[in-house]
Amino acid sequence: MPTQLDRALNSKNLFLGNAHFQYSSISKISRELLDLTHSAGFAGMVTAVAAWSIWGTDVFPAQDDPKGNPDEWTIDEMKRWLRVRGLLPNDNATREELLERVKANLRIPRTAKPASQQ
């Protein structure tokens, strides 16, 4: 299955421009401008591919989840924890409201099997 980069590189518009223009119907200045525009498009694509290959997807890596007791987390840590889980914290929520939501959504660690499975 072709990727977006494959489709872009196979596009005739990127390399040749709009092929339906007949050069005889446009002025010399327009032709030079059209050629310059398409050269810039190709140069932009090459630059974008080079930047992507150098930096990859981890230009700004995601921060780790806060560790430890949620009572000791900052407001920003609680908001980030909720946002990562798709719980959409309210920007105007107080620290107590955020802490309550975090604690309500924490998973209970399972250290032993339930009595019914033993």
Q: Is 98 inside a domain boundary? A: yes
Answer with the one of 55, 70, 98 that is the final residue of a domain: 55
Mean pLDDT, the chain, rounded, equals: 75
Residue 18 has pLDDT above 60, yes or no: no
- Please check whether residues 71 and 47 belong to one and the same domain: no
pTM: 0.45
Residue 83 has pLDDT above 80, yes or no: yes
* 33 or 91: which leads in pLDDT: 91
Dist CA 9 CA 42 (whole Å): 9
28-77 confidence digits (pLDDT tens): 666 666 565 656 677 777 888 787 777 776 666 778 889 999 999 999 99
- Please check whether residues 8 and 40 belong to one and the same domain: yes
**pLDDT reported for residue 59:** 63
- Please check whether residues 103 and 86 belong to one and the same domain: yes
By residue count, the chain amounts to 118
> What ranges make up the beta strands (E) of 19-117?
none
- Please check whether residues 74 and 99 belong to one and the same domain: yes
Residue pointed to by tokens 């299955």:
1
Which of these, 42, 18, 41, lies nearest to 30 by C-alpha position? 18
Q: Is 116 inside a domain boundary? A: no
Dist CA 81 CA 117 (whole Å): 32
Q: What range defines the domain where residue 51 resides?
A: 4-55
- Please check whether residues 75 and 104 belong to one and the same domain: yes
Domains of the chain: total: 2
- Please check whether residues 18 and 35 belong to one and the same domain: yes
- Please check whether residues 35 and 75 belong to one and the same domain: no
**pLDDT reported for residue 19:** 46
